[in-house]
Amino acid sequence: MKIIAVVSAKGGVGKTTLSANLAEALAVAGENVLAVDLDPQNALRLHFGMPPQEVAGHARAALAGEAWQQSMYKGRSRVLVVPFGALNEADRSAFEAHLATHPGWLRTELAALGLGRDDVVVIDTPPGPSPYMRQVLSCARLCVMVSLPDAASYATLPLMEDLIRTYCEGRPDFLGHVLVINQVDVSRQLGKDVVQVLRAQLGERVLGVIHQDQAVAEALAYDRSVLEYNPHSQATHDLQRCAAWIRKALAAHGEAA
């Protein structure tokens, strides 16, 4: 399987929305995609039409000693989804303690699903250092960092890169990390300046830019991906370009492995 970790050191950058739409873009392009929510906010499922009142998820399954298959969700999308699940504070603390003492938990659970060698797993994570972040970075093949085109997001990039170096570098299956600059408003000079600085600093590691597009928010309101809601929107085209790059990179890495 090919694991893609969608990460950020800072909250509020649209990481979950990007995770959902990137998973959909990869599926539309022909990949078999599993989307996994490792963020306790449990919001990824909403992008795929899972009823808000549904409480099932892998965290609840883990505490109950159940397999992930019990909590998988398949709606209208091509993407198969494993939600985090609804936990109270005590159960969340117990689950995080379990992750801390079982560093290979995520790798083991994914292996038990019997996924194919070329199947793609897109994992959404909470921002910053956490037991969840350590789990996904320890087995990710590619890390996609998400940033807004602002000074606050730019300032947190070194922290995220340091986490990636700590948990990813040195593994023979690790492809590297790239950056997606999200919600870019080309009418604002600051946003254009930050994009220019990031491209100059990171070069080819800037995977792409997702332009600010009202269709993204509207799509969520209708329980759809932006690709389904408005296939001709700017954000859809941006996501398709990112998905094409990722598919090419993963294919090249697979051939070299």
Range of the domain at 29: 2-256
Q: Which residue has the higher pLDDT, 159 or 256?
A: 159
Whether the per-residue pLDDT at 192 is higher than 90: the answer is no
Cα separation, 129 vs 140, in Å, equals 15
In total, how many domains does the chain have? 1
Residue 175: helix, strand or coil by DSSP? coil
CA torsion, points 232, 237, 243, 247, in degrees to nearest 10?
90
Give per-residue pLDDT as tens, 89-132. 999 999 999 999 999 999 999 999 999 999 999 999 999 999 99
Q: How far is CA 172 from the centre of its chain?
A: 21
Residue 257 is predicted with a pLDDT of 41
> What pLDDT, in 10s, does the model give residues 37-84?
999 999 999 999 888 888 889 998 888 888 888 889 988 889 999 999
CATH number of the domain bearing residue 8: 3.40.50.300
Which segments of the chain does DSSP mark as H helices, in order? 15-28, 58-64, 89-101, 105-111, 131-137, 151-167, 189-202, 214-221, 226-229, 234-256
Of 133, 150, 136, 107, residue with least CA distance to 13? 150
Structure confidence at residue 253 (pLDDT): 67
pLDDT in tens, 203-241: 888 999 999 999 999 999 988 899 999 999 999 999 999
256 pLDDT exceeds 70? no
Q: For the chain, what is the mean pLDDT?
A: 91
pTM listed for this prediction: 0.94
